[in-house]
Amino acid sequence: MMDDVLLTTGIPSREQIESRVPPKERREKGPFVVIECFQEIPCDPCYHSCRFGAIREFESINDIPEVDLDKCTGCGICVGSCPGLAIFVVDETFSETECLIALPYEFIPLPAKGGEVLLLNRAGEEVGKGKVHIVVPGKKPAGTSVIWVRAPKELSMEVRNVKVLTEGGARCE
């Protein structure tokens, strides 16, 4: 059942988020998917996009996705397949101080590799600065692009969007 906070604000509760965070042991092994889908709606592109079988087959088209973290490679293919923009990949093993986060990105123009971005939380609030590490354009005509951003490691479970900055550091409006 969906939490009242999600229904009124569009932001999942702390309990909902924590229910999707993999255990520390798995987080230390490399990239992993985080599916922040909390609604029972007819949708299953994530299951069909995963070539490793890490997203378990649905019994009903309305099921909430479940992940087999032992099968997940953190490739990020599922990130661009989710029409709800609810799938992310996190790699906390990227460096001692930074993580990588794969985010769905549907704005144009796409940010440039190496570009500076403001890191935003689920409420759209600025929580830090990061850099674009990789840009994967979406498949045409309606595919969602995926950007991989470098962020401070302590923000790995907070960052869920970005605001692109211009080359000079000014905000794009």
- The pLDDT of 51-70, averaged and rounded, is 94
The domain total for the chain is 1
pLDDT at residue 2 above 80? no
- Domain ranges, residue 38: 4-164
The answer to whether the beta carbons of residues 118 and 162 sit under 8 Å apart is yes
Other Cβ atoms within 10 Å of 114 Cβ, number:
11
Question: How sure is the predictor about 88, in pLDDT bands with cuts at 50, 70 and 90?
Answer: very high
Q: Is residue 173 one of the residues assigned to a domain?
A: no
pLDDT at residue 169 above 60? no
- The pLDDT of 162-173, averaged and rounded, is 65
Q: Is residue 40 one of the residues assigned to a domain?
A: yes
Residues in the chain: 173
Question: How sure is the predictor about 28, in pLDDT bands with cuts at 50, 70 and 90?
Answer: very high
Give pLDDT, residue 1: 46
Give pLDDT, residue 11: 85
Q: Whole-angstrom distance between the N-terminal and C-terminal Cα of the chain?
A: 38
pLDDT tens digits, 115-156:
999 999 999 999 999 999 999 998 866 679 999 999 999 999
Least confident residue range of 27-36, 92-101, 161-170: 161-170
Q: Is residue 172 one of the residues assigned to a domain?
A: no
Q: What SS3 class is residue 78?
A: helix
Q: Is residue 169 one of the residues assigned to a domain?
A: no
Q: Is residue 91 one of the residues assigned to a domain?
A: yes
Q: What SS3 class is residue 161?
A: strand
Give pLDDT, residue 108: 84
- The pLDDT of 83-101, averaged and rounded, is 96
Give pLDDT, residue 170: 46
- The pLDDT mean for the chain works out to 90
Backbone dihedral region for residue 169 (phi beyond 0: left; psi -120 to 50: alpha; all else: beta)? left
pLDDT at residue 40 above 80? yes
